[in-house]
Amino acid sequence: ARRKDSVGVALIGLGGYATHQLAPGLQLAEHCHLAGIVTGSPHKIPVWQEKHGIPDRNVYSYDDFDRIADNPDIQAVYIVTPNDLHMPLTLRAANAGKHVWCEKPMAMDAAEGQAMVDACRRNKVQLTIGYRLQHEPNTQRLVAMAREKPYGKILKVRADAGFHAYDDVDPADKPWRLLPQHGGGAMYDMGVYSLNAARYTSGQEPVAVTARQENRRPQLFEGVDETMYFTLEFADGAVAECATSFGQNMNTLRADCENGWYELSPFQTYSGLKGRTSDGQLFADGVPHQQAKQMDDDALAILNGTAPLVPGEEGVRDMRVVDAVYASARDGGRRIV
Ligand code: NDP
């Protein structure tokens, strides 16, 4: 039997991130534990049951998962599926009375994201988005600097997140990240890191967006973006130049201010974030396990009945900009957000 002060979590979608980051994170976490699984792959069930001591009654498929409503072992679900399933699974979990932790990007667009927020509010369950970096101390230092402005007004932010991959993919058998119907493309996958970082580093919401898409491997990237460049304009005249890509390695976040600059590079990795400033400060205040920290923060919000650090509304704010990025990339026009 589990302690009453630990949130029982069911992982939905036992793929790469659930297997290699979230399950280990749940083993390290103090305020939550892995209690159940939801999977469409029967062969994974015995492996996960044995490794994590999951009883038969806490194993679900996508078809029978609404029965989770009656399961007192599980208070929260963590949705770690392809992006197109985030919204429908969130609605089902909320209607089953479970708190929802959902991976980024929150949804396919802002309307879906808002429907998720509304469903969770209606069912009085929490909704939080898996922006692990917002729980991470180097990132939190940048958030504080956006407030305190130690180098004066922030004039320009640069946020680049991408990697080169998929050269070996068979165009007839593409993974979901290259398929439009599943929410594929660099913007949804890595671009939301650039976008979210531009927002927390500037401390402001963008008022306008201009975007440009570049596909150098068109046979691989059909109907999805390989590289996206986007510029955010803020009300005080500051701008954020952002880039994201499945074709280029990049991982830098930088703020240029009136009286200096600072940057985190890399800023988006699971560990090893490194910060430096124009006056020679270095910082690298890692945590032992980002996802354990994130899930402990989110579990405590449930246990204490307090607002989560990264609520669904934060995801909707990003999705509104993502919608504008895709719209602008279609015709090059500037979009008011
Ligand atoms: P994977 O492809 O490795 O795993 C996705 C899992 O979803 C599959 O293993 C499968 O699990 C389930 N699934 C359900 N329906 C489908 C379908 N139609 N096609 C494929 N898989 C399906 O993806 P990741 O784990 O890398 O990513 C999952 C989510 O997590 C994404 O939203 C991604 O953006 C996010 N993510 C976030 C990261 C972060 O740092 N915050 C890092 C990596 C990913 P099963 O067989 O059990 O049903």
Residue 160 lies in a domain: yes
Mutate to test the pocket of ligand 1, among 39, 48, 81 (most ligand atoms within 8 A of CB): 81
Average of per-residue pLDDT across 115-140: 98
The owner of tokens 């996802």 is 291
Q: Are 109 and 177 in the same domain?
A: no
Q: Going by C-beta distance under 8 Å and a sequence separation of 6 or more, which residues neighbour residue 275?
A: 138, 141, 142, 262, 263, 264, 281, 282, 283, 284
Average of per-residue pLDDT across 102-118: 99
DSSP helix/strand/coil, 67: helix
Structure tokens at 181: 């119907």
Closest ligand 1 atom to residue 270 Cα is 40
Q: Are 164 and 245 in the same domain?
A: yes
Average pLDDT, the chain: 97
Residue 300 lies in a domain: no
Closest ligand 1 atom to residue 38 Cα is 47
Confidence of residue 1 (pLDDT cuts 50, 70, 90): very low
Specify whether the CB–CB gap between 127 and 104 falls below 8 A.
no
Structure tokens at 175: 């993974």
Confidence (pLDDT) at 3: 60
Q: Is 193 a catalytic residue?
A: yes
Residue 164 lies in a domain: yes
> Which position among 60, 151, 193, 229 bears the catalytic label?
193
ipTM: 0.99
Q: What is the largest CA-CA distance in the chain?
A: 60
Confidence of residue 2 (pLDDT cuts 50, 70, 90): low
Average of per-residue pLDDT across 299-318: 98
- Say yes or no to pLDDT of 38 above 80: yes
Q: Structural domain tally of the chain? A: 2
> How far, in Å, from the CA of 199 to the mean position of ligand 1?
26
> How far, in Å, from the CA of 207 to the mean position of ligand 1?
32
> How far, in Å, from the CA of 13 to the mean position of ligand 1?
6
Atom 9, ligand 1: which residue's CA is nearest?
15
pLDDT tens profile 207-237:
999 999 999 999 999 999 999 999 999 999 9
Average of per-residue pLDDT across 149-160: 98
Of 79, 105, 131, the residue at which a domain comes to its end is: 131
**Domain CATH number, residue 238:** 3.30.360.10
Of 131, 151, 176, the residue at which a domain comes to its end is: 131
Closest ligand 1 atom to residue 44 Cα is 47
Average of per-residue pLDDT across 118-146: 98
* Residues in contact with ligand 1 (CB, 6 Å cut-off): 13-18, 39-41, 44, 80-83, 85, 103-104, 130, 132, 176, 189
**Domain CATH number, residue 80:** 3.40.50.720
Of 97, 131, 165, the residue at which a domain comes to its end is: 131
> How far, in Å, from the CA of 160 to the mean position of ligand 1?
23
> How far, in Å, from the CA of 79 to the mean position of ligand 1?
9
Average of per-residue pLDDT across 285-309: 97
C-alpha closest to that of 30 among 289, 277, 316, 319 = 289
> Which position among 60, 78, 98, 104 bears the catalytic label?
104
Range of the domain at 279: 137-286+313-336
Structure tokens at 42: 């029967």
Atom 30, ligand 1: which residue's CA is nearest?
80
Average of per-residue pLDDT across 248-276: 98
Closest ligand 1 atom to residue 19 Cα is 25
Confidence of residue 4 (pLDDT cuts 50, 70, 90): confident
Specify whether the CB–CB gap between 44 and 130 falls below 8 A.
no
Confidence (pLDDT) at 166: 98
Residue 22 Ramachandran class (φ > 0 left, ψ -120 to 50 alpha, else beta):
alpha
Average of per-residue pLDDT across 254-270: 98
The Cβ-side half-sphere exposure at 201, using a 13 Å CA radius, reads 34
Between CA 182 and CA 176 the distance in angstroms is: 6
Q: Are 200 and 280 in the same domain?
A: yes
> How far, in Å, from the CA of 66 to the mean position of ligand 1?
20
Residue 322 lies in a domain: yes
Q: Is 104 a catalytic residue?
A: yes
Q: Are 125 and 194 in the same domain?
A: no
Q: What percent of the chain has pLDDT over 70?
A: 99
- Say yes or no to pLDDT of 303 above 60: yes
C-alpha closest to that of 159 among 229, 248, 259 = 229
